[in-house]
Structure 1
């Protein structure tokens, strides 16, 4: 396949480390470009004055007036769940907070109740449809967490579903074990026993069966303390599972310090970050993954992206796709929100949603940038006046075509 007359080919780089500071604001490009896809990989690219004249391409796409960029890398989702939770949406409209709903047995516990009574087959089919829709909106690599099981059998069921999605998905998937999403009702006043169950029952079995790539824990007042989180993260590391930590969504309570100390790959959410924490993140190798569609949906305060970027933190963007606080996997909207509400420039947002997202999943050998040998997972936009138009026109679908593994993927209407 040859894509030619591209108005601008974006994200042409070879990044050896996550982008931060001034580098995050740079988006290398080739104007008036072409790109050659061979088999399922990017084979070559350049400006049109160097375009090959071979007439035997399997397919040629004329991208006059259009932009081409790598597909989004969504490094934080909860895509496997049993049912939606629009009843809680109504509760929030009437004034209930996320924390109040959780304390009343809603939220994550609500999803857990529904999931335990849903078959593995039904979970797989519904998640597969969500995944297809995410791909149609430009996502070309994704992470999926468990965390709506909250008991050994149900968590294993979720992870088996994710494993099966890996087997059939056209895009790369990383699986994360999140048994420490919240405390089940029977352990609400007995944290020690549930932490013991995660550490000594769930983690060893999951590692033995190879069901997860990472481990996660929700370090918050409504969930696990920093000390409890550390025990779980340490147990995961002992079994080869590197940590990705939910923290600082509502409170600063030591989660960032713990995650850095334990060598976590990323800290995710970060709606509440003080100056000292921002400085720590700026000096660390850890990825700061921001999820702006969650505070958008919860009508809460947004992540302090500018503070983090100015401190030198490596910022990534992800959707947090889940039924309770971010029921959408639309990364185009995430990029727009990052510009509109987080104060990120379009270049910063695109970098955070592509190459830095790939670093947050240790997938830079496959996705995140335009480089020969990487997967040919690409977005071809509609004709646009500028690259900035992509987040500017947040209510429009500006994707004309999604290319996955060098083949055209049917896109959303």
Structure 2
């Protein structure tokens, strides 16, 4: 039976909440509450039971860990990943160095279609082993809950293969896993000029089986020029809702074409990317409950603009940070690096970035009542850092591994 565990002499216990808000916006994002010289008690149930200053520490005779000069903070929540894939795409990395854009690579059969071809050639067992190893790497860098998308299958058989692998990961995973069906990631070459047929396959063939086998929590569409139009996305999202799948969608990575409006109209939980955003998009998001998911590692890797986080803050629009881990445009599972990029390239304060990668990211996966902050009663998934000088040191030391241990309960 699990026993209580006391952590003592914590330099800073950070990311504390007391119930509300469950989602921070505007000036609230700068409030990442910390207690100096703290203690933290974990219950037999693996939840946060009590915490406080060392001067008020209770008598305790069980398991004790000394955290002198170390920080404790809630695990990162990575709400947007393409964790399941068969191959890496380092050749496309070189193509971009030689001057090709992401869109040019895609138009000549690279990108998503490249990954889809490899998915069809790999066994389900091998795909699981490769992907689960990535999950463990993510946990080691501080991730305590994660979203996993399909989207490299692009056929009935291979999309279901990916979703079944995702569910195998979910069963074995020590951390919460949410699964998103992304059959509408791109049009397979055979349907490049016959969109209606592929959309019909998604809606009439894939979705009924996904629902029957309970293979996904959310539905996603890549709404962008040369991919799915807002009108095509709406057709898919409406059918997805009929099967109980809430939308979390790719929009505005390269162009603002009305995807945000269509997503909000369909009550999307989140709209992800937003490297390009218009005044009309801002107005739409201000009058919605939809969370923006910003992906700075993608911007860094393929040299596109960074999402305008400060504009979202000024307009009290909720947003979170995620890795966008994938083999083509963001081969990065390290959420600490994502936070560093948010500070360096998007001018977020460390407090804003940590809130966006923890509490707000939990809300983007509808996990905010159990994860995302140090709060009495929440699940005790947290990070112990190596000895560091301050919270600010974590994003400052952008290439240093500052995490000593990820504790998962």
TM tier, shorter chain? over 0.9
Find out whether 1:131 has 2:148 as its counterpart.
Answer: no
Q: CA deviation at 1:222?
A: 2.4
Give the TM-score taking structure 1 as reference length.
0.96
| Correspondence for 2:273 among 259, 269, 276 | 269
Aligned to 1:311: 315
Q: CA deviation at 1:73?
A: 0.2
Residues 22 and 369 of structure 2 are in contact (CA less than 8 Å); yes or no, is this contact kept in structure 1? no
Residues 80 and 146 of structure 2 are in contact (CA less than 8 Å); yes or no, is this contact kept in structure 1? yes
Find out whether 1:4 has 2:3 as its counterpart.
Answer: no
Aligned to 1:122: 126
Aligned to 1:377: 381
Within 2, Cα distance between the matches of 1:389 and 1:285? Answer: 33
5+ long unaligned stretches in structure 1: 406-413
Q: CA deviation at 1:106?
A: 0.5
| Correspondence for 1:44 among 35, 45, 50 | 50
Q: CA deviation at 1:52?
A: 1.7
Aligned to 1:213: 217
Query: What SS is found at the alignment partner of 1:356?
Result: helix
| Correspondence for 1:34 among 31, 36, 39 | 39
Within 1, Cα distance between the matches of 2:23 and 2:60? Answer: 37
| Correspondence for 2:74 among 45, 70, 74 | 70
Aligned to 1:22: 27
Within 2, Cα distance between the matches of 1:119 and 1:225? Answer: 33
Residues 283 and 312 of structure 1 are in contact (CA less than 8 Å); yes or no, is this contact kept in structure 2? no
Aligned to 1:365: 369
Aligned to 1:198: 202
Within 2, Cα distance between the matches of 1:352 and 1:113? Answer: 35
Within 2, Cα distance between the matches of 1:283 and 1:7? Answer: 41
Find out whether 1:61 has 2:65 as its counterpart.
Answer: yes
Within 2, Cα distance between the matches of 1:217 and 1:205? Answer: 18
Within 2, Cα distance between the matches of 1:15 and 1:368? Answer: 12
> Would you say how many aligned residue pairs link Structure 1 and Structure 2?
403
Aligned to 2:101: 97
Within 1, Cα distance between the matches of 2:368 and 2:390? Answer: 27
Matches within 5 A, 1:230-241: 230-241=234-245
Residues 269 and 290 of structure 2 are in contact (CA less than 8 Å); yes or no, is this contact kept in structure 1? yes
Give the TM-score taking structure 2 as reference length.
0.97
| Correspondence for 2:302 among 298, 301, 311 | 298
String of CA shifts for 1:56-77, please: whole Å, max 9, x gaps.
Answer: x1x3111112111000000000
Q: CA deviation at 1:201?
A: 0.9
Aligned to 1:324: 328
Query: What SS is found at the alignment partner of 1:338?
Result: helix
Within 2, Cα distance between the matches of 1:349 and 1:279? Answer: 23
Residues 281 and 312 of structure 1 are in contact (CA less than 8 Å); yes or no, is this contact kept in structure 2? no
Q: Give the aligned CA root-mean-square deviation in angstroms.
A: 0.9
Within 2, Cα distance between the matches of 1:135 and 1:372? Answer: 23
Query: What SS is found at the alignment partner of 2:346?
Result: coil
Aligned to 2:406: 402
